[in-house]
Amino acid sequence: MATNSLKHLQIERLNPLEIDKAIHQKSLVFIPLGAIEWHGLHLPIGLDSLTSHGICLQVAHKSGGLVMPPFYYGMSGSIWHHPYTILIEEELVFLKIIKTTLVRLEASGVQKVVIFTGHFSLKQLQALDTLKQDWLIIRKSLDLSIFSISDCPTVEMEADHGAIFETSVLAEIHPELVKLQNLPSKEIFPSNDPNGNSKGDHRRDPDNVLFGIFGDDPRNYKKQRAEIIIRKIIDWLVQSV
């Protein structure tokens, strides 16, 4: 189902009576996480949240439950200095808002929360590990599960940054936001990766045709492959929640 037609699962759009009704049927709330960062000229800076939010809506549509607005701020990675990139350095700052959200959802009677992150910098994943440990100590009743888009066991393509994987995933959720035409033609300007390494430091050079994109050339995007990836991610989560 088109993500735009799942607005009735977005918790921020609902009144308390509507929330009670949905939570009574399935006591589950999704928290999509992302980041604000450069993803190349062809993709929006909020890609990680846009994809995690869209995927959570699709999963909630199948499994029940409601979806929190995406948390657009994520933990830092090695590309923190790229233009229009705003990443958090301090784990405490990042985790405080998420913990408050968990505590308040628990106090409101929600039984289960699933955090799904579309941003998977090492710091982000480490912070989520810390959260998992901390929550076991402070929790009263709420169960917490955490998944990263980079961990789907059935997807054969490695998760990347602004490259073929992230381009494919966003294209299935918000096709109007993928603008491959912003990148130069691959026939005239091929990706030209030393030793075939599409994640090397040459991509950090602002003159590189795929500057700030880490992974295989997004200009090789194929809708057919994108459909398989997104279906596998959604199936994986539906089975896991």
What is the binding site for Zn ion (CB under 5 A)? 47-48
Least separation in angstroms between CB 18 and Zn ion: 32
Q: Which two three-digit tokens encode residue 175? A: 């096709």
Q: Which helix (DSSP H) or strand (DSSP E) does residue 67 occupy? A: strand 66-67
- For residue 203, give the amino acid letter: R
Q: Which CB sits closer to Zn ion, 75 or 102?
A: 75
Judged by beta carbon, residue 48 or residue 172, the one nearer Zn ion is 48
Long-range contacts of 7-11 (CB under 8 A, 24+ apart): 9/57, 9/60, 9/61, 9/65, 9/66, 9/67, 10/57, 10/66, 10/67, 10/69, 11/66, 11/67, 11/68, 11/69
Q: Choose between 65 and 74: whose C-beta lies nearer to Zn ion.
A: 74
CB of 98 to Zn ion, least distance (A): 19
Between 64 and 73, CB nearer to Zn ion: 73
Half-sphere exposure for 15 (CA within 13 Å, toward CB): 1
Instruction: State which residue, 50 or 95, has the beta carbon closest to Zn ion.
Output: 50
Least separation in angstroms between CB 14 and Zn ion: 28
Residue nearest to Zn ion (CB): 48
**By C-beta, is 34 or 65 nearer to Zn ion?**
34
- Count the Cβ atoms, other than its own, within 10 Å of residue 46: 19
Q: How far is the CB of 58 from Zn ion (least distance, A)?
A: 18
What amino acid occupies position 239?
Q
Closest distance between Zn ion and the C-beta of residue 144, in Å? 23
Smallest separation (angstroms) from Zn ion to the CB of 167 = 10
Measured in degrees and rounded to the nearest 5, phi and psi for residue 74 equal -125, 170
State the DSSP string of 87-141.
-B--HHHHHHHHHHHHHHHHHTT--EEEEEES---HHHHHHHHHHHHHHHHH-SS
